[in-house]
Amino acid sequence: MVTSAGYFPKQFQLTGKEPQKFETDDGVTRTFCGRCGSSVSYQREKSKYIFIYLGLFDNPENLKPEVHMMYSEKVSWMKIDDDLPKSDEFA
């Protein structure tokens, strides 16, 4: 399970050292810290968003969730009982 925040690439800028990149054959770019290996971002070639993992934010509790993506792929024991939209699509 991943918790992330989606932004238009122009809305987001990392500070500090540039992360390492891994590009897959199916058009996905993942970035990660070259020092510790922590995930930084996920971006699909066909998506207009870049997704930044919440663990990177100083105050992630200030971000308001808007949707549960890929809902049909959740593990069977996960219970989501809020009123947010549930989408089987990936933005």
Averaged pLDDT in 10-residue chunks for the chain of 91 residues: 90 88 95 94 92 92 92 92 90 69
> In the prediction, which pLDDT does 80 show?
92
86 found inside a domain: no
89 found inside a domain: no
23 found inside a domain: yes
Residue with tokens 């770019």: 29
> In the prediction, which pLDDT does 82 show?
94
> In the prediction, which pLDDT does 34 show?
93
**For the chain, how are helix, strand and coil distributed in percent, rounded to 5?**
15, 25, 60
CA angle 42, 3, 66 (to 5 degrees): 105
43 found inside a domain: yes
> In the prediction, which pLDDT does 89 show?
81
> In the prediction, which pLDDT does 90 show?
77
29 found inside a domain: yes
Task: Give the residue numbers spanning the domain of 56.
Answer: 4-73
Q: How many domains does the chain have?
A: 1
Number of H helices and E strands in the chain, helices first, is: 0, 5
Residue with tokens 């089987």: 88
Q: Is residue 40 within 8 Å of residue 53, measured between CB atoms?
A: yes
84 found inside a domain: no
